[in-house]
Amino acid sequence: MRKRMLKSAVLSMGALALLSVPAKAQQIIRVDGSSTVYPLTEGVAEEFQKAKRGAVKVTVGISGTGGGFKKFCRGETDISNASRPILAREMEECRRNGVQYIELPVAYDGLAVVVNPRNNWATCMTVDQLKEVWKPESQGKRMMWSDLDPNWPRQEIKLCGPGSDSGTFDYFTEAIVGKAKSSRGDYLASEDDNVLVQFAQRERGALCYFGLAYVEENKGKVKAIQIRNPKTGQCVAPTYQTVQNGTYQPLSRPLFIYVNAKAVQERPEVREFVEFYLKNAGKIARQVGYIALPDRAYKMAEERFNKRVLGTVFGGEPEVGLTIDELLKREAKQ
Amino acid sequence: MTLSIGVKKSIDIALYLFLMLMGAVSIFITFAIVWVLLVDTVRFFTHPEGGGFPTSLIRFFTETQWTPTFYYKQIGIWPLVNGTFIIAFISMLISIPLGIVVAIYLSEYASWKVRETVKPWLDFLEAVPTVVYGYFALLFVTPILSKLLAPFGIYVEGMNALSPGIVIGIMILPYTASMIEDAFKGVPQYLREASYSLGASKLRTALFVVLPAAKSGVLSAYLLGFSRAIGETMVVAVAAGMYPQITANPLEPVQTITGYIVQVALGDLPFGSFEYLSIFAAGFMLFGITLILNSIAVYLKSKTVGY
């Protein structure tokens, strides 16, 4: 009996050892960062691995934009997914460790403001109205829809949105309240977008915000409302088209990948992967619920990559309402 | 094959050293964890954004809001401690009575056969991943609560302290029940027999003889259960909301220390920033609380069975 157990143990160990030895040495590209960008990078990585027939392995982590930059600036990853530009602190960290990077926009993400489907009064809202609700001074106040517009009913506004640690929160507060991270805290917060969708579906007075991709997935369960573009005064509905042509402002943002410049120089597989990424990002963005950049933007990004333009065009500050053309024309700084 | 005495001795010594080293590793890891916590906690309290030391430490214990991730930063830890304790108390309200009942049944009433079938199922409850419990609380318990309380005109928030509290209570039940049962098992058989011979019923024996005799074991089981409820992470991260506030109303959303740590650790905040470091200060607070509780539990357990 003992002998038999020993035998099977040895055999299974041997089998494990065989399984864990790859057929030939694989090249590994390490990617980490934002969970928002993850589906896109993962989609590209799958296609790339198929194209390479398994000679290159791409691992994509989801440590969040901040956690991703932490690893990236220590030189542990080759590429970092980011749902916001790199910030001053992180630039400093990269500089200290001598990590240089190329900043590339890869797709758009739109934020949608949604209400309950039975909400038949709110069709278009202004940035000022949203600010009135979400600003930190409103903390603890029970607000009615009629407070925002006298024609609307006396129905209590029930707020929900992503947690205060997410890039989405940063972007929304920056765009609506005018200061990143400046928001009231007494709303239903969850990192799980499905929880937010459920809430908006249940509460008649719900007013929530989250990624446009989830609105598309949950058509009929929630109602996305139009936002009045502060520059043109037009009410614009959040759709892939309006995000792409830059009319849905200020709630659409570009998503980035940051590529380690040294890895590009020294490792052909990283260079190939990034080129593959820029060629296929548009197609895959549509598949995973994001919005592709205009074709010319991918061309400009490719040029930027081929010229190895180092640094960021944002100077370590978050910005709102940039069109992709403005962004790609700018000078980058380290 | 026989070995000489000398060889046997040296094997003995080598094994002894090896095992001692293994034991030392676990202690060393514990110290390393505390060290990491301590270093970043110090960095948090000396960070200029919090006002530096000692201002930040005073703010930590005097402010009533916890908003380090917002633009207007307040760093009063009490809302998180409040959320942590509310949920832990609710879970204890569930697991204290149930734990005793289950343990009495298993150790005094159940036949050997029943016990052998029931115990694995209890252990199975422990094996369920906590994130599953979290979604169970959010998608199953919360809607039921709001349906039950709606006729009384009570509105239950979509995220609240009650639902994860109940679920954690169920979750730690096998843990507390089996520890209490162990304490009951330690009560000598002759005490029970003496009680029976005086004409006491089974229930009377269990409640008035066995339970008092196993008192310290039961108390320490509860304290350890309480520690577990305080340290529980995924359930509260999913179902309790993310709104740190000081409230005694279990129907409102709260945030626990662990919930906050998960939120920030998985978020998009830059590493090493004041916001990021705040999780270490919160974690250190949690460490302090559980250390005190566990010390009391260990002390109680060390007391022998007595009256």
Write out chain B's pLDDT in tens, 307 residues. 677 888 889 999 999 999 999 999 999 999 999 999 999 999 999 999 888 888 999 999 999 999 998 888 999 999 999 999 999 999 999 999 999 999 999 988 988 899 888 888 888 888 899 999 999 999 999 999 999 998 988 888 888 999 999 999 999 999 899 899 989 988 999 999 999 999 999 999 999 999 999 988 898 899 989 999 999 999 999 899 888 999 999 999 999 999 999 988 877 677 778 988 999 999 999 999 999 988 988 888 777 544 4
B276 min Cα distance to partner chain A (Å): 9
A23 min Cα distance to partner chain B (Å): 35
Q: Which chain B residue has the Cα nearest residue A164?
A: B69
Test the A interface: residue of B140, B268, B278 with most A CBs within 10 Å: B268
Question: For residues A245 and A19, which has the higher predicted lDDT (pLDDT)?
Answer: A245
Q: How far apart are the first and last CA of chain A?
A: 67
In tens, the pLDDT along B251-274 reads 999 999 999 999 888 776 777 789
Q: Dig out the tokens for A258 from the structure.
A: 């940051």
Q: Dig out the tokens for A159 from the structure.
A: 């707020």
Q: Is the Cβ of B67 closer than 8 Å to some Cβ of chain A?
A: yes
The SS3 of residue B122 is: helix
Q: How many other C-beta atoms lie within 10 A of the C-beta of residue A230?
A: 13
In tens, the pLDDT along A256-288 reads 999 999 999 999 999 999 999 999 999 998 887
In tens, the pLDDT along A113-147 reads 999 999 999 999 999 999 999 999 998 888 999 99
Report how far apart, in Å, the C-alpha atoms of A75 and of each of A70, A84, A257, A277, B158 are: 9, 20, 15, 21, 42
Contact (CB<8Å) A165/B71: no
Let me know: does B241 contact B262? Beta carbons within 8 Å. no
A167 min Cα distance to partner chain B (Å): 6
Residue A16 has pLDDT above 50, yes or no: no
Q: Which of A102-111, A217-226, A262-271, B295-304 has the lowest mean pLDDT?
A: B295-304
Q: How many other C-beta atoms lie within 10 A of the C-beta of residue A11?
A: 10
DSSP A158-226: EEEE--TTSHHHHHHHHHHTSSTT---S-SEE-S-HHHHHHHHHH-TTEEEEEEHHHHHHTBTTBEE-E
Contact (CB<8Å) B271/A182: no
Q: Is the Cβ of B71 closer than 8 Å to some Cβ of chain A?
A: yes
Q: Is the Cβ of B64 closer than 8 Å to some Cβ of chain A?
A: no
pLDDT at B40: 94
3-state helix, strand, coil in chain B (%, to 5): 75, 0, 25
Let me know: does B50 contact B56? Beta carbons within 8 Å. yes
Q: Is the Cβ of B159 closer than 8 Å to some Cβ of chain A?
A: yes
Nearest neighbour of B264 by CB, restricted to A34, A84, A165:
A165
pLDDT at B120: 85
Q: Which chain A residue has the Cα nearest residue B70?
A: A181
pLDDT at A118: 94
Residue A6 has pLDDT above 70, yes or no: no
Closest CA to A204 of B41, B155, B246, B305: B155
Q: Residues of A with CB below 8 A from B72's CB?
A: 136, 182
pLDDT at A213: 77
Report how far apart, in Å, the C-alpha atoms of B258 and of each of A39, A70, A185, A243, B285 are: 27, 22, 18, 37, 11
Nearest neighbour of A163 by CB, restricted to B263, B272, B273:
B263
Let me know: does B77 contact B60? Beta carbons within 8 Å. yes
Residue A18 has pLDDT above 50, yes or no: no
pTM flag (> 0.85): no
Q: Which chain A residue has the Cα nearest residue B67?
A: A185
| Chain A to chain B Cβ contacts (< 8 Å) | 98
Closest CA to B216 of B303, B92, B97: B303
pLDDT at A334: 66
Q: Dig out the tokens for B41 from the structure.
A: 């906690």
Residue A12 has pLDDT above 90, yes or no: no
Parallel, antiparallel, or unpaired for β A188-189 and A206-211?
A: unpaired
Q: How much is the mean pLDDT over chain A?
A: 86
pLDDT at A15: 47
pLDDT at A152: 96
